[in-house]
């Protein structure tokens, strides 16, 4: 396998007031940086206005469609990434609206890149959101890796300082997912360079 460093965009999908997401994101960014093979970019969707109303022609049909000016930084960071990790809670058995808006405003930025997931929620650990997102990203010609990280009853798993009370299992799960993202990300990076993807 190539020893190249991949650009990994970690997307914090919750924007709600009082969200727990930054705690999970900080933990995961530490795991990704400790892995040693990723240049990590934490993207907090709370920092970007995400209109829920899409243009008349969606980006999937017109990939070069102009987007709102305030979205330019987000678009550039997604385009630069070789791989993604999406951090999501589940709200009413699904992923947050802001996350879906960020996905739907883009198309080519996701194509032929691997995606991993970190979920957290009271009961399912975000698995309901993750399973829905797999279908969404597959439609966008992205590849979702098998392994994931899940935090059911997350409020019992992290201490007041934001560290995990028992990190062994989650750390191992993160390592397994990151290894898969590295393999797929390296292969797809080289494929995009050597054989550009042109399928509709």
pLDDT in tens, 112-153: 999 999 999 998 999 999 999 999 999 999 999 999 999 999
Hey, what domains does the chain have and what are their CATH numbers?
6-194 (3.40.50.360)
Residue in the structure block whose two tokens are 């054989």 = 195
Residue 47: burial class (beta carbons within 10 Å; 0-12, 13-18, 19+):
exposed
What interhelical angle do 97-104 and 127-139 show, nearest 10?
A: 10
Q: Write the pLDDT tens digit of every residue in 114-125.
A: 999 999 999 899
Q: Please give the C-alpha separations between residue 172 and each of 32, 70, 72, in angstroms, as whole numbers.
A: 12, 37, 35
CB atoms within 10 A of CB 191: 12
Dump pLDDT digits (tens) for 35-78: 999 999 999 999 998 998 888 887 878 877 778 889 999 999 99
């Amino acid at each position: 396998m190539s020893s190249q460093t991949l650009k990994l965009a970690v997307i914090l999908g919750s924007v709600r007031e009082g969200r727990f997401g930054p705690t999970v994101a900080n933990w995961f960014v530490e795991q990704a940086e400790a892995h040693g093979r990723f240049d990590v970019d934490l993207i907090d969707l709370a920092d970007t206005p995400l209109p829920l109303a899409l243009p008349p022609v969606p980006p999937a049909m017109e990939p070069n469609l102009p987007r709102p000016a305030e979205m330019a930084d987000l678009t550039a960071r997604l385009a630069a990434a070789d791989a993604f990790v999406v951090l999501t809670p589940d709200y009413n058995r699904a992923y947050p609206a802001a996350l879906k808006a960020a996905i739907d405003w883009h198309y080519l930025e996701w194509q032929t890149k691997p995606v991993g997931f970190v979920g957290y929620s009271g009961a399912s650990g975000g698995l309901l959101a993750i399973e829905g997102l797999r279908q969404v990203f597959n439609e966008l010609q992205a590849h979702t890796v098998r392994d994931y990280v899940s935090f059911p009853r997350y409020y019992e798993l992290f201490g007041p300082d934001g560290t995990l009370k028992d990190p062994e299992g989650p750390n191992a799960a993160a390592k397994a997912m990151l290894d898969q993202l590295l393999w797929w990300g390296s292969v797809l990076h080289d494929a995009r360079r050597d054989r550009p993807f042109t399928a509709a």
